[in-house]
Amino acid sequence: MSAITIDGLSSSLYALYLRLFKNEAISKTEPFVFRDCLANQKISEFIADSKGHEPNVWVPNLFSGSEKTDCFEFEPVQRMLSEEEKNLCVEAASRCIRNGTCIYGPEIDELTTHLQDFLGSQHVILTSSGTAALTIALLALDVKPDDEVILPANSFAATENAILAVGARPVLADVCEQSHNLDPESVESLVTSRTRVILPVDLYGGLAGMDDLKQITQKHSVALIEDACQAIGVSGVGTSAEFATLSFNTFKNFSGCGKAGALITNNAELAKKARMIAYHGFTPNHKMHKKLPMGFNALIDNLQAAVLLARLPYLAIINFRRMFLAMRYNRSFQKLENKAMLTLPKPGPNNGWHLYTILLKTEDSRNDLISFLDSQGVPSKIVYPCLSHQQDNALRQTLFKNVHLPVTEDLQSRKLALPLFNGMTISEQDQVIKGVHDFLGLSQDFM
């Protein structure tokens, strides 16, 4: 049997998942090979502790620290970190406060090095937020007022706001029915002489069709920025784009204790320029000496970096837990999809499972399911309930007046996100699964 090299990225985690699920027990002689990476530490310990055991042992090991509470919410903020992680974060923050290194300190460089190693990226620039990272990326690529940037409408407002912040014009493209990510054909139909950047979003942690989008950017000599704020640890992030951006806010798979983000790139010149923009336009390593006309105060604080560094050993196992829960949803709902009662997200190696969404047949059935689940004490959520071109603001009557995105609009009217969060338990997931089956009137074939 060939070895599985676990590098903490989604493709290797997916291979690990398939091997574990197929064989059920974790063999004592299973040839798992772990890359020496801080982000792999806890998943390495999980495999070591679970060798030779059946699922009734290794599944509880996987969810160690995820204890059910009375707070079953869609994203319970108090449960996004385990008690063990909270204690580590408190210790890290306390050291910074006592040492006076809350703004500047060694943890920034240390975290940068470990993230570069984990992500396979030559340059990581830690920022104050994912939004700041997106804005800096646009400016580093010389996006100017009235330039056009093509993006999807089914994203968080930060994607659009970063474009507006630099004076550029957001142009909304439709998405693919299968992936819910940018449709390359729709994108190419919108390219004009004013197009400067294509900005896909790795929606819900699923990698956008970057190869096809890269071909379009090369054909039309425009840049590619990847909004990967929901997709840390997904294989392929940042490999096709001039920049990719990450977010570490509370509700992301991997977060600190506040807001933070990152820019990743393999282009040394772009990295140098982005660092200057991120810190007041100063020449690198020469504070107070401005090289650029303007810049921001948008670098990460050392206190936040210290907290993220303390949590980094948990990154791969957090993503693996989420993958396990997502695949468990899929297995549990497979009969429902076979009977065309709903549509499931497609499994694969390039998804970090930031969110798990299903599609109902109609908007009414989606809304009825929400009400039914709520009556059963089961949370759910319509993510991005109002698309960019449907917001009640001035842009609706100017930039977006004639925008019609049939696939995006149809998907959004029927889509529902089910709970999937860092501290979720198997028993809580069982409640969700039972609620969906009860609503659709079909007995469940439980795994």
**How many residues comprise the chain?**
447
The reported pLDDT for the residue numbered 293 is: 92
**The predicted structure's pLDDT at residue 48:** 87
Report pLDDT for 68: 64
- Digit-by-digit pLDDT tens for the chain (447 residues) are 567 788 999 999 999 999 888 777 777 666 678 899 999 999 999 988 888 788 888 899 899 877 666 778 999 999 999 999 999 999 999 999 999 999 999 999 999 999 999 999 999 999 999 999 999 999 999 999 999 999 999 999 999 999 999 999 999 999 999 999 999 999 999 999 999 999 999 999 999 999 999 999 999 999 999 999 999 999 999 999 999 999 999 999 999 999 999 999 999 999 999 999 999 999 988 888 999 999 999 999 999 999 999 999 999 999 999 999 999 999 999 999 999 999 999 999 999 999 999 999 999 999 999 999 999 999 999 999 999 999 999 888 898 989 999 999 999 999 999 999 999 999 999 999 999 999 998 766 544
The CATH fold of domain 84-312:
Aspartate Aminotransferase; domain 2 (3.40.640)
Say which residue the tokens 């819910």 belong to: 180
Tell me the C-alpha distance between 152 and 182, whole Å.
6
Q: Give domain limits for the chain.
A: 4-67, 84-312, 316-440
Residue 192, exposed/middle/buried by CB under 10 A (0-12, 13-18, 19+)? exposed
Question: Bridge-partner residues for 358, per DSSP?
Answer: 416
| Spacing of C-alpha 123 from chain mean position | 19
pLDDT score for 52: 79
Contact (CB, 8 A) for 369 and 416? yes
CATH no., domain 316-440: 3.90.1150.10
Closest residue by Cα to residue 263 from 301, 300, 315:
300
Q: What is the pLDDT of residue 229?
A: 97
Contact 93, 307 (CB under 8 A): yes
Q: How many angstroms separate the CA atoms of 144 and 400, rounded?
A: 20
Determine the Cα–Cα distance for residues 214 and 224; give it in Å rounded to an integer: 7
Report which of 316, 345, 313 is spatially closest to residue 233, judged by C-alpha positions. Answer: 316
Pairing state of beta strands 195-198 and 342-343?
A: unpaired
* DSSP structure class, residue 178: T
What pLDDT is attached to residue 447? 47
CA distance 326 to 334: 12
What is the edge-to-edge ordering of all strands in the sheet holding 169-173?
Answer: 123-127, 261-265, 243-247, 223-227, 195-198, 148-152, 169-173
The string of DSSP codes covering 308-328 is HHHHGGGHHHHHHHHHHHHHH
pLDDT of residue 287: 84
pTM for the full predicted model:
0.95
> How far apart are alpha carbons 413 and 429 in whole angstroms?
24
